[in-house]
A and B are shown apart, each in its own frame.
Chain A
Amino acid sequence: MADLLQLENVSKAYTRGLINTHATIALRNISLTLKEDEPTILTVAGESGSGKTTLAMLLLGFILPTTGRIIYRGRNISTLYGEDKLAYRREVQAVFQDPFAVFNPFYTVDHLLTVPIKHFKLAKSRADARNKMEEALTAVGLRPEDILGRFPHQLSGGQRQRINVARALLLKPRLLIADEPVSMVDASLRATILETLRNLQRDHGVSIIYITHDLTTAYHIAKSIIVLYRGGVMEAGDVDAVIKDPRHPYTQLLVDSIPWPNLDQRWGAQPIKAREASGGSGEGCRFRSRCPMAMDQCASEPPLYEISRRHTASCFLYDQQPEVVKERLSEMLPA
C-alpha cells in the first residue's frame, strides 16, 4: 500500500540572532503517515503557538523542516523540481483562515479560478475552462451565475471561503490542508463549509488535514485527531475517544473549555493557569508548568502511552500502559 504523505521525525526550529542564536522549536519530532487509498480527515488541534500553522506550511512546502524528511508519494518534497514539483503543487492544496485576504480586490473572483487553470493547463479551450469553473462552483453549493464576474467585496465571507474550496477542488487535489477554514465565518455558514469539505473527502477521495483550535467542529468533521501543544503531540487517536474521554491534562483543559451550546453542560470549574509568555526550550513535558497533575517525573519528556487501540497520550499518568514509538503514531489513528 503506497503512502500519500509521510512525515519522518520532522522538527522545525525558528532561530533568531546571529551570535547568540536563540531557537524556538515550533514542532518537534513529528512522524505521521497518510495512506493513498484511504482518504481521511485528520484534525490537528491546539492553541495559538502550538505549531499547527508551522505544520501546514511544512506540508505545503513553503518552509523546509530543520530535521527530518517529508515524503510525498515516495519523493522527498525538498528535492522536487520541474514537473514533479508542479504536480505536487497541484495535488496538495490549501484553504486558509481569512476568506477576505486571499482575494485581490482589483480582479473579479474569476481570477482566482482562471489563474490555476492556465498555470496547470487544465483546460483545452475557454469554453472548457468555463465549464470546469462552473462545475467546481456547483460542487461547493454555489450558483456560478451568482458568482462569476463579481468582485470579492460583493460576496459574503461564506461565499468567498467556498470559492477557495472550489478553487482547490478544480485542481483535483489528493490532499487539502485546511488551516482554520471556518474560524472567520458566521456560525450558520460554518455548517455549509464543513459539509462541503466532508463531501470532498467522501465523494472526491481527497484527504483533508483540518487544522483548528475549535474542537467542536473537529469533532463533527474528522475521524482522527492529533492534539499539539508547543510543538509536541500531547494526545492522538480516534476523535470520539479523544474528545469524549480526554486523558491528557491539556486535552482535558481544552475539552473543558469548549463553549457547548448546552445549558446543562457548563464550563469546568478547574481554574486556568495562564501560559507564561516565554519558554519552550526547557526540557520535559511542555505542559507541566500549567498542569494541575504535574509530578517530579514530568521534568523528563514523556513518551506516548497506549490508552486503547486507537488512543494514545503523552503523559506519565499512564506510564503503566504500553509505550508507543513515535514513528507508530499513525497506526493509532483510524482511517
Chain B
Amino acid sequence: MNVTLMQSAMESSTPMHALRAATADPVLRVRNLEVTYYTDSGRAKALDNVSFTLNSGEKLGMVGESGSGKSTMALAMMRMIKPPGRIEGGQVIVGDTDLMSLDQEGMRKARLSKIAYIPQGAMNSLNPVMRIGAQMVDAVKSHLPGEPKAAIEARCRRALQSVDLDASVFRMYAHELSGGMKQRVCIAIGILLDPHVIIADEPTSALDVVTQRQVMETIDNVQKQINAAVILIGHDMGLMAQFVDKVAVMYAGRLVEMSTVREMFTDPKHPYARALISSLPSLENKGVFQGIPGLAPSLLRLPSGCAFHPRCSSAMAMCGTTRPEPRILPGGRSVTCHLYDGEASHG
C-alpha cells in the first residue's frame, strides 16, 4: 500500500506551502510495520501491517482508542520498543535511510537528527536536577561531538527562541517552569538538530485549553521553520481538526482509514471513523451524547475477520470471517473495510 496524497491540496496551508509539498518526495515511508508483544497470556499483535507515507511539511494526526497501537507505532518508528515487544518486520524509511537496517549506534545517531520524539507527558521527562541548558547541550554533544561549545550554545538558544521561550530559560531548572513551558522546552529539544520527522505523542493531554493552543501553535511554527513532517498522536479529534492535514485512524493495531482532514470530517468512510466523527461534541448538538457502543477488543483475543465487526453497525456476513485488506479509493484515501471492496482503484 502506498498512500500518496499529493494531488489533494491542503486547505489549511498556504499556496507556496502546498506547492512545496506537491513537489517533494515523501520524507517518511512506513512499510508493513509489525510489532508483537510476547506476554505470558499470549501474543498480542500491537501493530499489524501498517504502511503509509508522509511528505515533508505535512502534518499527520493519528487517532484511536487506548490500546489501538498509536503509541506503539511511535515507539516502533523510533526503534524504542522494549521486550516483551518486538518489531517483527517492515521498514521505516526517512529520506533514503531505512531505520530498521541501522545498527544500534547508527540508530542512536538517527534519533533526534532524523526523527525526533516528543513523548507523552513530556514535562515529566526533564531532569529535575539539571539546568534546562545543560540537558540541551547534552543532546547536541552526543550527536555532534566535534562542535565548539559556543556553536552548541547558540544552537540551543536558537531552539528556545523558536518555541517562544525567553533566553533565561537556558539557566533554569524544570521546577521553575509551568507545564506549558516545560512542554515547549521538550519541543525545543526535539528540534535541536532539525529532524526530518517529529513524532509528538499526546503533547498536550495534561494541559488546559489555552496552554494547549499555545503549544500546538508552537509546534506549527517550528514545523514551518524546519519544514519537517509531523505526526501528532492523540485521541482529541477537535485538536486534529485544528492542526493536521491528514488523519490516520487506528483500530486494534491496524490502520483502518487514512484521508485528508477535510475528507475525514465531512465524509468518513470506515464505520469506526464514522462513529468517531459522529460522537464528537459541537455547538449544534447540545446534550446529545453518542458514544461508540461496545468496548475496544483485547489484542490477545481479537475477533475473527475484521476486528471491528462486533461493534460495527454495517457489519456483513463476510466481516466475521474474512479480514479486510487496505484499499486505496479513487482520490487517494485508504480504507480497510469490506464495504469498499468494489470501489478500490488499482494502483
Binding site for B on A (CB under 8 A): 47-48, 156-159, 186-192, 194-195, 198, 213-217, 219-221, 240, 243-244, 253-254, 257-263, 265-267, 272, 274-275, 277
Contact = CB atoms under 8 A, between A and B. Distances in A.
B66 A186 contact: yes
Given A253-B210, A260-B241, 4 more contacts: A48-B211, A195-B291, A261-B277, A277-B177
B276 interface: yes
A239 to B, nearest CB: 9
B286 A277 contact: no
Contacts of A243: 283
A156 B235 contact: no
Interface string B56-68: 0000000001110
Contacts of A188: 65, 235, 275-276, 279, 291-292
Given A186-B65, A244-B283, A47 B211 contact: yes
A156 B238 contact: no
Nearest to B277: A261
Contacts of B241: 259-263
Interface residues of B, number: 50
Contacts of B277: 261
Most buried by B among A188, A257, A262: A188
A271 B281 CA distance: 25
Given A191-B291, A261-B237, A220 B209 contact: no
B291 A257 contact: no
Interface of B: 11, 65-67, 164, 176-181, 207-214, 217, 235-243, 261-262, 265-266, 275-277, 279-283, 286-292, 295-296
A254 B210 contact: yes
Contacts of A198: 287, 289
Contacts, number: 122
Contacts of B262: 263
Contacts of A277: 176-178
A263 B178 contact: no
A48 B208 contact: yes
A214 B210 CA distance: 10
17 contacts: A48-B179, A48-B208, A187-B280, A188-B235, A191-B290, A191-B291, A195-B291, A198-B287, A220-B287, A254-B210, A257-B210, A257-B213, A260-B282, A263-B241, A274-B214, A277-B176, A277-B177
Most buried by A among B238, B240, B287, B288: B238
Given A187-B237, A188-B291, A257-B209, A263 B66 contact: no
A187 B279 contact: yes
Contacts of B180: 274
Contacts of A158: 295
B282 A262 contact: yes
